[in-house]
Homo-oligomer: A and B are copies of this chain.
Amino acid sequence: MFKKVLIANRGEIAVRLIRACRELDIPTVAVYSEADRNALHVRCADEAYCVGPPPSVESYLVMDRIVDVAKRSGADGIHPGYGFLAENPVFAKMCEDNGITFIGPSPAAIEMMGHKTVARETMQKANVPVVPGTELLDDDDLARSAVEIGFPVMVKAAAGGGGKGMRIVHEQKQTEEAIRAARSEAKSSFGDDAVFIEKYVEEPRHIEFQILADRHGNVIHLFERECSIQRRHQKVIEEAPSMAVDEDLRMRMGEAAVSAARAAGYWSAGTVEFLVDKHRNFFFLEMNTRLQVEHPVTEMITGVDIAKEMFRIASGEKLSIRQEDVTMNGWALECRIYAEDPFNNFLPSPGVIQTLRVPGGPGVRDDSGVYAGYEVPLYYDPMISKLCTWGRSREEAIDRMKRALGEYVIKGIKTTIPFHLKVMSNEHFLAGDITTSFIGDKFILETGEHGEGLRDVSLVTAALQMGRRTREGVSVSGQRDKGMDAWRMMGRRSRWVM
C-alpha cells in the first residue's frame, strides 16, 4: 500500500479521498490554491501545500508543480479525483515518469477513452453499439455534418466530460453559436477546444455502469446508475439501480460495459455511460476514466467502497471481490446541492455559509467540502454537497430524501435544495418516468397547493425580521429567554385561522 498519497483536487471529492486514506491509514498531502487556504480539504489532510493563485489554470492544473509537491513531500501516489487532471493522459504519464503511481487507469486507456472519436471506434470494434456521429472537424465541416446527420444533434467536447463543453442543436441556425460556446467551455475547462457532433437521441435515459478492474486482468461491474435527471447536460440527481433496467437488460449492459473496459485495457474504477432509448436499445456514450461524482449511490447498494478499491488496485492488489460476490441491496439516491439560486435561473450564489445543519438519522449520507463560516469561492464548480439516501425500496429512499432535504439548512448562500424537494414530489419522478429532458418537459418549479397558508407565515417572519433591525420594532425573545410565554399558551383560545 502507499506510504503517502497526494490528492490533486479540492472540494468534496478531495475530502472524500482523504476520508478513504484515513480509513486505509495512508497519510495524505493536500494541495490548494490561494483561494482555498481555508478549505476543508486543507484542514483534513496531514500535509498541505499551496500551488498557486486562485484560477485553476494557475494552480490545480499546473502539472509540474503538483508533481514537484508530491516528490518533495515523499508521496508515492497521486489521486486526481474528478475534473482538473483526472482524465489528462499527459499528467498520468508525468506521474509515472517521476516514479509516482497515478491512482487511476493507464495513460493509454485515458487517452483512448478521452478522445471520444477514438473511443467510439474502439467500441465499434468490440461490438458495443454506439450513437451515429462525426470525427473531430473544423467549424464549417461540423456545421455541414450536422445537416447530414439530421437535427437534433449534440456538439460535444472531445476532451473531458461532466456536461461541460456540450450543446444541443435543434435547428440549423443555432449550429454556429453552439459550436462556439462548446469550444469556449471546452477550452476553459479542459484546455482543448476540439469538438465533434453526434446524433441526439431524443428522450433517452442516461444509464451508466460502474466498473472495477485490477492490473491482473480481472474486471467486474457494480451494476448501473440512472443519471437521467440533468440540467444543462449536467447530472443533478442520480439513483441506483434504475427502474428501466430489468435482470435481462442488466446482464446484457453489464457484459457490454465489461467488454468496453477490456477493449480499453482498463484498470482502476471507471464508468461506461450508455443512452437507453424508449425501446430499451442501448448505445455507448462514453467511458469516464475516473471516479464519478455519483459513485456514492453504488457504494450504498453494494457496500463496496469504490474510492478505497481505487487505492488498493493502484497499489497492485487483486480485486477482493468476484462478480458473483457483488450483491444489490436496496435503493440509493443522490441529490447534488449547488450554490445556485433555483428561483433565479440557477445563477451561481457564492458567499459565506453562515449556518449549516446537515441532515442525519437512518439511511442518510452527506459528502460535502464546506463548513459553517466557510466562504464558497467564485473560482470553482458551485457544487457544495452531495446528499444521498438509502432505502429498502425506491419509495423508502425517496421518502428519506424528502425528509433529509427538509432538514438541510444552509444559510448565507442560495442553494438548489428547494429544487430537489420539488423533484421528490413530482409525479413523473415518483413513477420513474424520467428521461434526460425531464427538467425541461415534466417539471415546474412552482409554489405548491400549501403555498397560500404558508405565505402568511412568511410575511409574519419578515415583519419580525424588520422588527429586529429597528428600535421601534416589537422585540422577539432571543434564545436564552425563559419559555414562560409558551407555557401560558397552553390555556389560550385558538386564534389560528389559516
Contact residues of A with B, CB < 8 Å?
15-16, 19, 22-25, 32-38, 44, 49-53, 296, 299, 303-305, 307, 329-330, 355-358, 360-368, 371-373, 375, 392, 396, 399-400, 402-403, 406-407, 479-480, 482-484, 486-487, 489-490
Closest residue of chain B to A479 (Cβ to Cβ) is B38
The answer to whether B400 touches A23 (Cβ under 8 A) is: yes
The answer to whether B361 touches A358 (Cβ under 8 A) is: no
A352, chain B: closest CB distance, angstroms: 9
Q: Which residues of B contact A305 (CB under 8 A)?
A: 362-363, 392, 396
User: Given A50-B489, A375-B480, A406-B22, are A365 and B357 also a contact pair (CB < 8 Å)?
Assistant: no
A371 to B75, CA, bound (A): 38
| Count of identical protomers in the assembly | 2
A36's partner among B399, B407, B483 (CB-CB below 8 A) is: B483
Give the dominant DSSP class at A's interface.
mixed
A25's partner among B19, B360, B399, B482 (CB-CB below 8 A) is: B399
A116 to B299, CA, bound (A): 44
The answer to whether B34 touches A402 (Cβ under 8 A) is: no
A6 to B53, CA, bound (A): 55
Q: Which residues of B contact A35 (CB under 8 A)?
A: 483
Q: Which residues of B contact A480 (CB under 8 A)?
A: 375
A34 to B484, CA, bound (A): 7
A299 to B330, CA, bound (A): 13
Q: Which residues of B contact A15 (CB under 8 A)?
A: 361
A98, chain B: closest CB distance, angstroms: 18
The answer to whether B365 touches A16 (Cβ under 8 A) is: no
A34 to B305, CA, bound (A): 45
A34's partner among B362, B392, B486 (CB-CB below 8 A) is: B486
The answer to whether A490 touches B49 (Cβ under 8 A) is: yes
A373 to B361, CA, bound (A): 20
